[in-house]
Amino acid sequence: MSETPAPMSAAVIAQAVSSQKLTAVAATEAVLARIAAHDNTLNSFTDVTADRARARAKSIDAAIAAGQAVGPLAGVPFAVKNLFDVQGLSTRAGSKINRDLPPAPRDATLIERMEAAGAVLVGALNMGEYAYDFTGENVHDGPSRNPHDPTRMTGGSSGGSGSAVGGALVPIALGSDTNGSIRVPASFCGIFGLKPTYGRLSRARTYPFVASLDHLGPLARSVTDLALAYDAMQGPDAGDAACTTRPVEPVLPSLTGDIGGLRVAIAGGYFQNNVFPEATEAVARVAKALGATQTVELPEAARARAAAYIITTTEGASLHLGRLRKRPNDFDPAVRDRFIAGAMVPAPYVDKAQKFRRWYRARVLELFNSVDVILAPATPCTAPKLGQVNFVLDGVELPVRANIGIHTQPISFIGLPVVAVPVPLEPMPIGVQIIAAPWREDIALRVAHALEKMGVVAAPAPRGIGA
């Protein structure tokens, strides 16, 4: 595999391209070669937009040769979960049904912003059907596979994003996170993932799942690369009703700042129950490195997870009612049956869940009067085997699918910003959530960067693809 070495980090590529030590064309060709060499194993891409990428890379090299500034992501290849509109492709969102849609006339806002900063889109990535998934499995396209052990799940629903970055096919991928769909694959695939504050990044021209819970964000192999992508994508957008009008708040300038004054606590109770020893070990390592000994209790976290579940299943069902009636046999049967059940949940329960959500938000925000950062597991376990239905925890057999997201759901439910950081345990990595108060992505990223510098967290080389 020496002909397809792992690509450099986004920061290194951008620096090399900007200083004309590397061409954007060469960076792009290296990534395309690596995808060709390894994606048969990983199944992370559903579309490789090679012609578009080559043309874009050429234009970047021409602009640099002409002395023009091309942006902080000059020549950096990236890919997007296939629920992002990519001009000329039907936005399948992991489904069979959406392949019948006409090709998207325009890229999603976040793709436009990445490319405006000099990045090069190389393709669209596999995902769980309609994002209603924590496994990364897909009955239409096949499962995305874990880069550290292809017999294991990537996690989902941004499974291809986790696999492509974890496998070092691309330095950056974009994903979506409604209940954990960035943080779970980041955990299972051993990479960094940022789920920003709800409303921070525009969702314009991406396929929705649960509007009141949907977030978009980047996955990468380093915190600097996460920050580069995040800063490039910030900014208001009238195309997304929930997108904030707050000014852009760049995080790169403060990324290497001191964390000594930050108050870090460990999430107790709910977040320490129903976890495998690996998850406990990962949180303990991060807490020790940060000198965190205080424990805080997120009040009613189990009920928060329940409320997120109810809002998800009912809003998701509402979105797909027409397709359930017209094309029920074209869904993944398991997804269809969840949506049909979701349509049958009585409305008062949904209203109650949204009212509880406001109560819970107020109580959790009170915690941030006394702490700046809360640590919690990203997943209760390392990546299960593909197709695995149950696991045994403390002698109790539990369903895998329903339990993968138990620690991410109570956090995204109230839109808190989170960086999932990879703890490189053997034989499989696992993630920890670095959780901050709303709009304080800068704090979560600064802590993640400090942990990376200490060597406590890192994206391990992909051992499952022989490279």
Q: Tokens 């029920």: give the residue.
A: 328
Out of 48, 295, 328, 425, the residue judged to bind another protein by CB under 8 A: 328
Q: Are 228 and 72 in contact (CB under 8 A)?
A: yes
Catalytic, 81? Answer yes
DSSP 254: G
User: Does 212 participate in binding another protein (rule CB under 8 A)?
Assistant: yes
The C-alpha atoms of residue 69 and residue 421 are separated, in whole angstroms, by 32
User: Quick one: which H or E segment has residue 377?
Assistant: strand 373-377
Out of 97, 139, 334, 425, the residue judged to bind another protein by CB under 8 A: 334
Task: Please choose, from the candidates 294, 332, 425, the residue with its C-alpha nearest in 3D space to the C-alpha of residue 140.
Answer: 332
Catalytic, 202? Answer no
Buried b (16+ CB within 10 A) or exposed e, 121-136: bbbbbbbbbbbbbbbb
Rg (CA), the chain: 20
> Which x/- pattern over 271-300 shows residues binding another protein (rule: CB under 8 A)?
-----------------------------x
Out of 1, 62, 321, 454, the residue judged to bind another protein by CB under 8 A: 321
- From 9, 18, 181, 202, active-site residue: 181
How many residues make contact with another protein (CB under 8 A)? 40
User: Does 309 participate in binding another protein (rule CB under 8 A)?
Assistant: yes
DSSP 200: S
User: Does 54 participate in binding another protein (rule CB under 8 A)?
Assistant: no
- DSSP string computed for 425-464: -SSS-EEEEEEESTT-HHHHHHHHHHHHHHTSS-----GG
- Least distance (Å) from another protein to the CB of residue 36? 39
Q: Which is nearer to another protein, 46 or 178 (CB)?
A: 178
Q: Which is nearer to another protein, 1 or 241 (CB)?
A: 241
The C-alpha atoms of residue 420 and residue 441 are separated, in whole angstroms, by 12
- Least distance (Å) from another protein to the CB of residue 199? 9
75: left (phi over 0), alpha (psi -120 to 50) or beta: left
The C-alpha atoms of residue 377 and residue 279 are separated, in whole angstroms, by 6
- Least distance (Å) from another protein to the CB of residue 358? 4
- Among residue numbers 133 through 192, which ones bind another protein (CB under 8 A)? none
- Least distance (Å) from another protein to the CB of residue 259? 31
- Among residue numbers 230 through 249, which ones bind another protein (CB under 8 A)? 241-242
User: Quick one: which H or E segment has residue 265?
Assistant: strand 264-267
Nearest-5° angle of CA 91, CA 98, CA 142?
A: 85
User: Does 416 participate in binding another protein (rule CB under 8 A)?
Assistant: no
The C-alpha atoms of residue 60 and residue 53 are separated, in whole angstroms, by 11
- From 9, 18, 44, 81, active-site residue: 81
- Least distance (Å) from another protein to the CB of residue 332? 12
Out of 33, 48, 55, 324, the residue judged to bind another protein by CB under 8 A: 324
Q: Which is nearer to another protein, 116 or 321 (CB)?
A: 321
Buried b (16+ CB within 10 A) or exposed e, 137-160: bbebbebbbbbbbbebbbbbbbbb
- Among residue numbers 352 through 391, which ones bind another protein (CB under 8 A)? 352-359, 361
Q: Which is nearer to another protein, 250 or 269 (CB)?
A: 269
> Which x/- pattern over 96-135 shows residues binding another protein (rule: CB under 8 A)?
----------------------------------------
Binding stretches for another protein (CB under 8 A): 212, 241-242, 300, 302-303, 306-307, 309-310, 313, 321, 324-325, 328, 333-334, 336-338, 340-346, 348-349, 351-359, 361, 402
Catalytic residue annotation: 81, 157, 181
